[in-house]
Amino acid sequence: MQPFWESLPRPFIIAHRGASRYAPENTLAAFRLAVAQGADAVELDAKLSRDGRIVVMHDNTVDRTTNGSGAVREMDWEALQRLSAGGEEDDPETAIPLLEDVLQAVAADVLVNIELTNYAAPSDDLPYLVADLITRLNLQERVWISSFNPWVLRRFAKRMPDVPIGFLIDDRYPWLYPLLRRFVPHQLTEPHLSLVNESAVRRWHAQGKLVAVYTVNDADDMRRLFAWGVDAIFTDDPPLAQEVREEFLAHSRV
């Protein structure tokens, strides 16, 4: 069986938290819009509510992105689902969604990158609960898992070794990746834009990794990365990325 990315155009475009330049991030509205805009994949952030539901939210708190306040892991799903992320009140398209609802809504149309963001509670059961959900929905060939935390990735890989893994590289701690990369099974290296240059891309490719760079919203940055041969970019602006990719591929064919 070929890896899922073999079917994707190169470089492939990952909608960061959905089409988050055009719709509230990490909402069904943003993910559906990314599909409509032609993204090859969507990225989302998963963590646990107090009562153990897998919710899609980037921050440790709901303060920045919703009309509520408080830490996600200290709130039950009943309270979280009543919050709005910027649309009409009681609109499920702009509410905090469950991971299951997002996967059922878009995984048939695009690949899904799930970032395990249990950074405030790294020993919780999130890796196992996400693995169990992927199995129940039979989406092993439609998703890959990412995290900045190598121990969380190792825990997920033990439960579900056949699902691809991306090791995110934090620009604040770039030394962590070369120190621990051999101890974390992963197929994708996912560096911050500031850490990428042509020689780094060659090095990661020589190590047998795909290179997916985050978060790239400037056309000149996209052109430079595409010329260096990166395999994918995370972007808030899928239409811009597609425009730049078409320009790049057209020039490459000349």
- For residue 22, the domain's CATH number is 3.20.20.190
Given its phi and psi angles, is residue 213 left (phi above 0), alpha (psi -120 to 50 degrees) or beta? beta
Q: Does residue 157 lie within any of the structural domains?
A: yes
What confidence score (pLDDT) does residue 1 get?
41
Using alpha carbons, select from 249, 204, 198, 252 the residue that is nearest to residue 225: 198
CA distance from start to end of the chain: 33
Q: Does residue 120 lie within any of the structural domains?
A: yes
Q: How many helices (H) and strands (E) does the chain have?
A: 9, 9
Would you call 30 exposed, middle or buried from its count of C-beta atoms within 10 A (0-12, 13-18, 19+)?
A: buried
Judge contact between 173 and 150, C-beta under 8 A: no
Residue 107, token pair as written in the block = 């995984």
Q: Does residue 85 lie within any of the structural domains?
A: yes
Whether omega for the bond prior to residue 11 falls within 30 degrees of 0, making it cis, is: yes
- The stretches of the chain forming alpha helices (DSSP H) are 28-36, 77-80, 99-106, 126-137, 150-159, 176-180, 198-206, 219-228, 238-253
What confidence score (pLDDT) does residue 42 get?
98
Residue 203 CA to its chain's centroid (Å): 23
Model pTM greater than 0.85? yes
Q: Does residue 2 lie within any of the structural domains?
A: no
Q: Does residue 142 lie within any of the structural domains?
A: yes
Residue 183, token pair as written in the block = 């101890």
Using alpha carbons, select from 69, 72, 68, 70 the residue that is nearest to residue 58: 72
Q: Does residue 96 lie within any of the structural domains?
A: yes
Backbone φ and ψ for 80, nearest 5 degrees, come out as -65, -40
Burial code (b: 16+ CB inside 10 Å, e: under 16) for 75-85 equals bebebbbebbb
Number of domains making up the chain: 1
Active centre residues (catalytic): 16, 58
Q: Does residue 1 lie within any of the structural domains?
A: no
Q: Does residue 232 lie within any of the structural domains?
A: yes
- pLDDT tens-place string over residues 88-105: 677 999 999 999 999 999
What confidence score (pLDDT) does residue 136 get?
98
CA distance 108 to 117: 24
Residue 104, token pair as written in the block = 């059922």
To 10 degrees, what angle do helices 28-36 and 99-106 make?
A: 20
CB-based contacts of 210: which residues, under 8 Å, 6+ apart? 5, 187, 188, 189, 231, 232
Report, as ranges of residue numbers, the positions in the chain whose pLDDT lies below 70.
Answer: 1-4, 87-88, 254
Identity of the amino acid at 144: W
Cα–Cα distances in Å, from 74 out to 80, 128, 157?
Answer: 10, 20, 27
Give the domain extent around 122: 8-253
